[in-house]
Amino acid sequence: MVLKSLALFYLKTGTPQKAYQITENLMKINDYDGDAHLLRGLALYLNGNYIDAITSLEQARTFRPYNPELLLFLGVTHYYLKNYELAEACFEEAFTMGESFVVIWLNRGIFYYKQGMASLALQYFEAVLRIDPENFPAWFLRSKCRFELDEIEESYKSIERALYFFPGDKNALSLKGLIEFKRGNYASGAECYTKITELEEGNETHWFNLGLIQLWNKNYEGANGAFNRALLIRKNIFSLIGKAFSSFYTGDSANEEKYLLDAKKHNPEKFDEWAKTCAGSENHLQTLSLVDTIDITFELPLDSLISVFEPITVLHLPDLDHAFK
């Protein structure tokens, strides 16, 4: 009991390697312990060892054949190994068990989205919202699908709803920035990227995005400051080109030339590609694009799955110290 509680603690606190080591001991004690196989499978999954995770999760499944959350983990693990048909079969079987509809539909939608099927994924996210209209991930993902389908106003309505439930989410703010850029609301988009840089000051891509949208917003001082912050973190050809643009718009031709030369020296091949694009563009600023930094991940119910171990209680740190005495 103590070892299982300790393994659960490590899974919940993001140290799957330690959880795995404990499950090895559990399986030495009893190789027919279904809980040990499940814990081991989760630890392997979280550690990115998907092949061995499938073996352990399948073994756990022989002890818990009617657990839809376990099937979700199996399905997602198969996805990462590009076993798409097996992944889909796991999602379908989980659905037929008549439980956890929201989490199954949500993850099945993500499964389709990650394969480039935004229209199909959208159907699942909207099904989730019919059951749970306050589901933040579904609103966010609905917005992302609508955005990729070029349904910008519908995308905007959905991201506003998502941010109502979780106003400080980095991915949601980033998506709203992209949407506002498409809508031509550059000041609002700049507000989004300003908030993101406050959340992740050390990410040069966020500063580049802020600089670019400030150029469109005609806030050239703000653009220049953002590109400076991006270049302090990492020298990047497009931030150098951004600096050249901000110099151009403020009439500083000497610095415009300087930063263009720096950009060409930093990455001649990419610079030449960009220059060719400029030659065929009426608005050279359109040759720079915002970088989509949004990370779409599966919404797997770890807490729900490990609740099968009740009445085991996850120990607090003082208890853990005592357990080793």
User: Is the pLDDT reported for residue 210 higher than 50?
Assistant: yes
User: Is the pLDDT reported for residue 310 higher than 90?
Assistant: no
Residues 245 and 311 in one domain: no
Residues 197 and 272 in one domain: yes
Residues 260 and 287 in one domain: yes
Q: How far apart are CA 186 and CA 311, in angstroms?
A: 53
Assigned domain for 130 exists? no
Residues 317 and 240 in one domain: no
User: Is the pLDDT reported for residue 116 higher than 80?
Assistant: yes
Q: How far apart are CA 150 and CA 161, in angstroms?
A: 18
Least confident of 10-19, 95-104, 137-146, 149-158: 95-104
Assigned domain for 58 exists? yes
Residues 308 and 264 in one domain: no
Residues 313 and 239 in one domain: no
Assigned domain for 149 exists? no
Residues 279 and 321 in one domain: no
Average pLDDT over the chain, rounded to whole? Answer: 89
Question: How confident is the model at residue 98, as a pLDDT?
Answer: 67
Assigned domain for 174 exists? no
Residues 305 and 287 in one domain: no
Question: How confident is the model at residue 96, as a pLDDT?
Answer: 86
- Give yes or no for a contact between 109 and 122, defined as CB atoms under 8 angstroms apart: yes
Residues 313 and 258 in one domain: no
Query: In total, how many domains does the chain have?
Result: 2
Residues 36 and 69 in one domain: yes
Contacts of 268 (CB under 8 A, 6+ apart): none
User: Is the pLDDT reported for residue 70 higher than 50?
Assistant: yes
- Give yes or no for a contact between 141 and 123, defined as CB atoms under 8 angstroms apart: no
Assigned domain for 56 exists? yes
The stretch 104-108 carries a mean pLDDT of 91
Assigned domain for 125 exists? no
**DSSP per residue over 255-317, as a string?**
HHHHHHHHHHHH-HHHHHHHHHHHHT-SSGGGGS-------------HHHHHGGGTT--PPPH
CATH number of the CATH domain containing 67: 1.25.40.10
Least confident of 92-106, 152-166, 177-191, 275-289: 92-106
Residues 200 and 285 in one domain: yes
Assigned domain for 57 exists? yes
Least confident of 83-87, 268-272, 281-285: 281-285
* Residue with the two structure tokens 């399986």: 27
pLDDT in tens, 32-51: 888 888 889 999 999 999 99
* 3-class secondary-structure state, position 116: coil
Q: How far apart are CA 245 and CA 279, in angstroms?
A: 15
pLDDT in tens, 153-200: 999 999 999 999 999 999 999 999 999 999 999 999 999 999 999 999
Cis amide leading into 311 (omega within 30): yes
Residues in the chain: 325
The stretch 288-307 carries a mean pLDDT of 80
Q: pLDDT exceeding 70 applies to what percent of the chain?
A: 91
Assigned domain for 241 exists? yes
- pTM value is 0.84
**pLDDT classification of 314: cutoffs 50, 70, 90:** very low
Residues 219 and 281 in one domain: yes
Q: What is the residue range of 210's domain?
A: 187-293
Q: How far apart are CA 126 and CA 94, in angstroms?
A: 19
pLDDT in tens, 255-270: 999 999 999 999 999 9
